[in-house]
Amino acid sequence: MHESIAELIAEGPVLTDGAWGTQMQARGLAVGACPDEWNLSNPQAVEEVAKAYVDAGSRVIITNTFGATSFCLARHGLADKVVQINRAGAEISKRAAGDRAKVFASMGPSGVMLMMGDVTPDQLRDAFAVQAQALAEGGADALVIETMSDPAEARIAVEAARTTGLPVVACMVFDSGKDHDRTMMGTTPEEAARTLEEAGADCIGSNCGKGIEGFLPICRRLREATDRPLWIKANAGLPKVVAGETVYTQTPDGFASHVPGLLEAGASFVGGCCGTTPEFIRAVGTVLKGGSSHPVA
């Protein structure tokens, strides 16, 4: 385990942040627009999101760089801005964090399929390496590879991220199969843990794909499969479309009431993914400090 990860978790479970996309949409980001580009054109709004989580008690925040590989940015005509967008994303979160939080820079899926031959492993590795290096140059304290479905892509991303020398977190999405306990590629938590550990991830986990109650068995199985610290970021339930709008019906207190179960299952880092807000993070923080939350509705 990287010593900086060990230092963070030495004092107990670490509160991370919540969703970014929905928070940016609330500040005017159009659906379908490139969120990452706001690092250049609207950095103040991005910093507001980051600071809201720091103010809510997050000890670790991510960056607005989830879709900032050259492959994702190319769809918006921004492939030539990879370095600027990622470096700015790290710098924005660092400003918001100050000395109150660490910045674990976000690296999401490339959007291209290895198994379909869309891209070669070397091309993918190069793209992730460029992103990781730019994030490191921007001052990131660590890198978090998240929302991965393909273990081969996740492995390549971890290997590329490790070239920076920064700690690396790697997370998969388990939302498929009869019991919703496999990735879209059919990978189990046990297989994912083995692959990510072999690739050199300092911390292993899961994010997105389901509400927090579905993360309890996933967390237990990851804990049984690895001795690495576990990073868990659940959605605020599954979204529903109400009057044409996407709505998450989970409440902050309802979400936070599941946190003790996650801690018992072995989670070291706890936060939220899609649909969660600073209020969710504040509620989780209350539980982590030994407070209570209302029972699950």
Q: In the CATH hierarchy, which top-level class contains the domain 12-288?
A: alpha beta
pLDDT tens, per residue, the chain with 297 residues = 788 999 999 989 999 999 999 999 999 999 899 999 999 999 999 999 999 999 999 999 999 999 999 999 999 999 999 999 999 999 999 999 999 999 999 999 999 988 888 899 999 999 999 999 999 999 999 999 999 999 999 999 999 999 999 999 999 999 999 999 999 999 999 999 999 999 999 999 999 999 999 999 999 999 999 999 999 999 999 888 888 888 888 999 999 999 999 999 999 999 999 999 999 999 999 999 985 443 332
Which run of H or of E encompasses 234? Answer: strand 230-235
Round to the nearest angstrom and report the end-to-end CA distance of the chain. 38
Beta bridge partners of 227: none
- Residue 171 φ then ψ, to 5°: -130, 140
For residue 259, the Cα-to-chain-centroid distance in whole angstroms is 17
Counting Cβ atoms within 10 Å, is residue 112 exposed (0-12), middle (13-18) or buried (19+)? middle
pTM: 0.95
Strand 267-272 with 230-235, pairing: parallel
Sign of CA dihedral 203, 9, 66, 256: positive
